[in-house]
Structure 1
Amino acid sequence: MTAKIFIDGEHGTTGLQIRGRLAERRDIEVLSIPADKRKDPAARADFLNAADIAILCLPDDAARESVALIENAGTRVIDASSAHRVAEGWTYGFAEMDRDQAAAIREAQRVANPGCWPQGPIAALRPLIAAGLLPADLPVTVNGVSGYSGGGRTMIEAYEADGAAVPHFMPYGLTLDHKHLPELTAYARLAGAPLMQPAVGRFAQGMLTAVPLHLGRLARVPSGRALHGALAEHYGALADSAVTVAPLAAVERSAELDPQRHNGTNAMTLHVFANDARAQALLIAVYDNLGKGASGAAVQNLDLMLGRAG
């Protein structure tokens, strides 16, 4: 049966990416609101309530408004904003996070699509905390770089207009109060919020996150091999996983650590680097901020909810 999908906010960065990924699909019908009705609540309500699944690609307040407009109990929702990621009654849309998470998404009425920045650190940390190799109260820092498309239309236009004048690398979030911290803390199962230092690069899309670990003060210091083994076991046990773990390697540098390596895909690769003599490790995730970090994850969740994946 053809499923009716409405993308509320289809002309934004994430919405356009989702439309592109669904363009050749014959198993769904994408409902498209006329341009002059996009800000008309009554018209949006009609489309939202006519859909089997509504995908919200909107600012947080607008996403909350859209949810409030849904009266049809049959309309299911994927929200790509950050409005509902830690809200009660919403299922977190990171299918590989736990062994039963894909099943939970498949049955969910309301799914909160993950943010791009938290996914890499959650993917790296949660299985290690669950395995007892890292304590939940370990002080954690998160660093990384994302393509400028992660900043939405305003940043895209600014970077593309300024060209060579924009910085190659620009740290931000210097108030140390990044909006994704609640999500990252909750789903990595950390006892306290990490220190997060993101940056934007002079490239359109792609992403790399890094979590450095000082392990020497732990009562039981895990080896790099143990950390790698736990991650490989977790993701290797999942069917249809978009997350893979690179082989453990003692290298000075690696060409695989290119933020743009997985552009245009829904893939994420985790890397573990360690110096056991120093009791230090580094967990790195590489993925597309518009793929697994946004529209790719939304389509993955859509397919789960339609029973066509996992």
Structure 2
Amino acid sequence: MSKPVVFIDGDQGTTGLQIHARLGGRQDIELLTLPEALRKDPAQRAEAINSADIAVLCLPDDAAREAVASIHNPAVRVIDASSAHRVHPDWVYGLPELSADQAERIAHASRVSNPGCYPTGAIALLRPLLQAGLVPADYPMAIHAISGYSGAGRATVERHEAGEESGVRVYGLSLEHKHVPEIQQWAGLGTRPFFVPGYGNYRQGIVLTIPLMFRLLPAGVTTERLQQCLEQAYQGAAHVQVAAPSSQVSQLDPEALNGTDGVRLHVFGNDAQGQVLLAAVFDNLGKGAAGAAVQNLDLMLMGQP
């Protein structure tokens, strides 16, 4: 029996390089790559995609759409790591922990859209709480996150690593960040959230925070109930950990889970002050990108006809 052929389109970008490195030594797949001289040849890329069992797209949004449009072989399955198809109704959202049956849906899907890095943390925190009725869908949500500079694109990576840029940058100030529709749809929010991202002077890792006011939540909601809801939602999940409540935690390190494919969720509450802070820590190149893509690939290989 022949091995499944996996083609990475865009394997020289940050995410593509990570995926390629993770798959390079595997014996259960045949990894298809193009020589450097042919990587930008549309005909060669289309031929490679159509000869693959699973194509992993690590491309800008428009290029990802073009790649999908070039597929004429109905047997080709796709994981798109861009944001081009994350709210598309014909694509399966690639967050296996989204619901009890989401991993099964991914396993048998022909089109899977890999989640964005920031949305992974926001959705993991919010979706169970909204589904349980502990947070209303119309809550005026504000989400803030700081990532390593690797999440800001190749040009920013090169500037940082050349010593031409340092410090912290907050962006998305037009309030039109492309992750907002994805967060709203998959978290189950009825209104558009504020989303304020930034990146720091370190390579990778995310801390994402969401403040909540108890006076805007249903009566009887407490820090303990929010904690219990998340613990129940992710009980047994391999890649999502809910940290135990601890008054000893005074700071969060965005690099704490670097090199892993996990996300750690926290609930910090002060019931007396009527406030709670939800937080997620994870590697933007792990569960936030390449790790998530490989997790989805493995599910799809399990469901391969």
Task: State the TM-score, normalizing by the size of structure 2.
Answer: 0.96
State how 1:55-70 maps to structure 2 within 5 Å: 55-70=56-71
Q: Give the equivalent residue in structure 2 for 1:88.
A: 89
Q: Give the equivalent residue in structure 2 for 1:250.
A: 247
State how 1:167-182 maps to structure 2 within 5 Å: 167-182=166-181
State how far apart, in whole Å, the 2-side matches of 1:293 and 1:27 are. 24
Unaligned runs of 5+ in 1: none
State how 1:115-194 maps to structure 2 within 5 Å: 115-162=116-163, 166-194=165-193
Q: Give the equivalent residue in structure 2 for 1:277.
A: 272
Counterpart contact for 1:142–1:194, Cα < 8 Å: yes
Counterpart contact for 1:216–1:278, Cα < 8 Å: no
Deviation at 1:252, TM superposition (A): 5.8
Q: Percent identity?
A: 52
Secondary structure at the counterpart of residue 143 of structure 1: strand
Which digits, 9 at most, give the CA deviation of each residue in 1:118-161, with x for residues without a partner? 11010000000011111111111001100000012111001111
2:286 corresponds to which letter in structure 1?
Answer: G
1:80 corresponds to which letter in structure 2?
Answer: A
Q: Do structure 1's residue 301 and structure 2's residue 296 form an aligned pair?
A: yes
Deviation at 1:287, TM superposition (A): 0.4
State how far apart, in whole Å, the 2-side matches of 1:267 and 1:218 are. 29
Secondary structure at the counterpart of residue 99 of structure 2: coil
Q: Do structure 1's residue 227 and structure 2's residue 231 form an aligned pair?
A: no
Deviation at 1:12, TM superposition (A): 0.8
State how 1:1-20 maps to structure 2 within 5 Å: 1-20=2-21
Counterpart contact for 2:261–2:291, Cα < 8 Å: yes
What is the total number of aligned residue pairs between the two structures? 303
Q: Give the equivalent residue in structure 1 for 2:200.
A: 201
State how far apart, in whole Å, the 1-side matches of 2:247 and 2:276 are. 11
Q: Give the equivalent residue in structure 2 for 1:35.
A: 36
Q: Do structure 1's residue 109 and structure 2's residue 110 form an aligned pair?
A: yes
Counterpart contact for 1:173–1:197, Cα < 8 Å: yes
Counterpart contact for 1:221–1:279, Cα < 8 Å: no
Deviation at 1:308, TM superposition (A): 7.9
State how far apart, in whole Å, the 1-side matches of 2:183 and 2:116 are. 9
State how far apart, in whole Å, the 2-side matches of 1:8 and 1:160 are. 25
State how far apart, in whole Å, the 2-side matches of 1:250 and 1:308 are. 44
Secondary structure at the counterpart of residue 246 of structure 2: coil
Deviation at 1:98, TM superposition (A): 1.0
Counterpart contact for 1:250–1:274, Cα < 8 Å: no
Counterpart contact for 2:108–2:303, Cα < 8 Å: no
Q: Give the equivalent residue in structure 1 for 2:259.
A: 264
Deviation at 1:260, TM superposition (A): 0.7
Which digits, 9 at most, give the CA deviation of each residue in 1:269-310, with x for residues without a partner? 00111011122111100000000000000000000000189x
Coordinate RMSD, CA, aligned: 1.4
Task: State the TM-score, normalizing by the size of structure 1.
Answer: 0.95
State how far apart, in whole Å, the 2-side matches of 1:263 and 1:45 are. 34
Moved more, 296-305 or 31-40: 31-40
Counterpart contact for 2:134–2:217, Cα < 8 Å: no
State how far apart, in whole Å, the 1-side matches of 2:65 and 2:47 are. 16
Secondary structure at the counterpart of residue 162 of structure 1: coil
